[in-house]
A and B are shown apart, each in its own frame.
Chain A
Amino acid sequence: MALKPSPVRRSAANITGLVFGLLWIFPVYWLVNNSLVTDDALQSRTPSFLPLDFTWAHYETVLHDGRFWSALRMSFGVALIVVVAALLFAFFASMALSRFRFKGRKIVIISVLVIQMIPAEAMFISQYKMIDSWHLLNSVLGLSLLYIGASVPFTIWMLKGFVDGVPVELEESAMIDGCSRMGAFFRVTFPLLGSGLVASGIFAFLAAWNEYTLALVLLSSDNSKTLPLWIQGFSGQNQATDWGGIMAGSTLMALPVIILFVIVQKKMAQGLVAGAVKG
């Protein structure tokens, strides 16, 4: 801190910060809390603020649901394909944009930004028809194919920031030592992008893991649902909504993402900033 704030101002800031933090953490707490209390406690008019009527029953319901496991497999399969493909394509593209000045470069960069403005609703009818004509509805491949396109622009954007941060001189000296251009990219720059690859990979993973609209349009068969479709179907399948089960399912769905975020959170904000200010 450059200036020492007065103790009064500091504690005022701390209290505001505390309230801010509590407001933002509350829905997450509420989710986990309500996944752990009995149905009676959930149904009562007075909310239970602590999981005193504790039970694992809702998790057992979910884990015994075959549809949960098939949705989990589907979601992981799609996310994996998307991450690998999007990272590879984005690595190539960001090398081109970062290391070369060529005709059309500016147009590509503008397109990368503008493409993200196209509303999904502007395309999903024809995307549906396209995937249908390739007989890829209800398949991991069909969904992945569209998700890759959806995450590539963002991944390029982030990765380019990281590539810009790797000194070009390193590649040059590798090339003087007899490396080919592509060899220099892969042997020198690629390993140095570690955190950038992780961060942009996670964004691609998240995009695939969370996506709902396209999945809703492309997946209709019961055993090819992704987790977002499964959880939404779960809340609709019973007459009386099984809130405990929904909370447990939502928690399980959030768990992998939260773990990933905790691992790389610093890198992600940095990556986005790098993309904006070219560090």
Chain B
Amino acid sequence: MTVTSTRAKPEGTLPDRTGPAAPRKRRRNPLPYLLLLPAVLILLVDMGYPLLRQITMAFQHFSLEQQFGKPAEFAGLDNFTRVLGDSAFWLTLGRSLAFCLVCAALTMAIGIGGALLLTKLSRPVSVFVQAAMLLAWAMPVLSSLQVFQWIFDSRSGVVDWTLAGLGLQGMAGYNWFSNPLTFFAVAAILVIWMSVPLVVFMVYASVTQIDESMLEASTLDGANGWKQFREITVPTIAPVLLLVTILEIIWDLRVFTQIFILQKNGGITEQTNVLGTYVYQVGLSGGDYGVASATALIMLLITLLLTWRYVTQFLKQGEV
């Protein structure tokens, strides 16, 4: 056994049986590349190629005619200027960003709060809360969508009924999906409801890894709850928080299914489009693949910009 094996992580690969693991030897080993091959291949086929095609299309005039075989003309930046010159795009972008940030921020706040709350509960309540989280987490998107539409139904929905019962007579029979603001309120409630459990579980799992004695020692040193939270809890769970924040932003920015299906209730598609549904409409419904592809690329760029800071920070912290 060589020394490297005991602290396998830093530069650690399996020590070569014939001698100490020389970097020169490691680089030549084809095994890791072979092991990566199946995953890389399927990703190239599933995402690499389509993405490449899509990037090409973004620079072409590509609509239904080309779909049926007419050769596509090079369009330069035409599609991009058309997207960027379209006020509907900017409105949609603003809407998507606002929706994403509100949902991600609220999800993180409620999720972290819920996880910390879990550590303070007595056993039966804690089990109940965890069971509730688990059930909400397990619900398939489409099932959740159906029940939320029913909860917010204008004829027999429980929300309208409750609000009317509380004295808000105007809310009896209110159609939540006919006004952009209340439409997005319902969508946000649904998205937050779906995403909070994961945050709670992940943060809770890492909070419980915090060394109890450290907290005790800090109490003896006179640290109060907030100070402990800031100086012990947050640094310990920082990698997890970063990862969840990245995931939440990614997921909330590319939200599609929830909006797409809720839109079928309202008939105000134009005013409730987010980037995902906008691309879908321009591309698959409108048949303008070039413009849709350009929009999709812009969307990807925005996601990268939004999360880049977190991703680099995360990679540094996690020492992957």
Contact = CB atoms under 8 A, between A and B. Distances in A.
B139 A257 contact: yes
Interface in B16-73: 17, 26-27, 29, 31-33, 35-40, 42-43, 45-47, 49-51, 53-54, 57
A212 B204 CA distance: 30
B269 interface: no
Nearest to A92: B35
B74 interface: no
B47 A115 contact: yes
A275 B243 contact: yes
Interface string B128-156: 11011111111111111011101101011
Interface stretch (A14-22, A50-58, A61-69): A14-22
Task: Tell me the dominant secondary structure on chain B's binding face.
Answer: helix
Q: How large is the interface on B (under 10, 10 to 19, 20 to 34, 35 or more residues)?
A: 35 or more
B197 A24 contact: yes
Interface in A176-212: 176, 181, 206, 209-210, 212
A89 B201 contact: no
Contact of A25 (B54, B131, B141): B131
Contact of A277 (B136, B146, B151, B206): B206
A168 B139 CA distance: 38
Contacts of B275: 119, 121
B54 A122 contact: yes
A78 interface: no
A127 B50 contact: yes
A121 B279 contact: yes
Contacts of A84: none
A213 B54 CA distance: 17
Interface string B88-106: 0000000000000000000
Interface string B288-316: 01001100110110011001000100110
A145 interface: yes
Given A24-B132, A123-B51, A232 B261 contact: yes
A276 B129 contact: no
A270 B129 CA distance: 18
Nearest to A168: B8
A1 B216 CA distance: 10
A46 B304 CA distance: 48
A258 B138 contact: yes
A175 interface: yes
A30 B296 contact: no
A28 B256 contact: no
23 contacts: A5-B120, A24-B136, A27-B139, A28-B132, A44-B156, A88-B38, A93-B39, A99-B32, A103-B27, A110-B311, A110-B315, A113-B311, A115-B43, A124-B50, A125-B293, A149-B43, A171-B14, A175-B17, A181-B31, A250-B140, A250-B142, A265-B134, A276-B242
The 7 closest A-B pairs by CB, nearest first: A149-B46, A122-B296, A250-B143, A269-B201, A96-B35, A126-B53, A25-B132
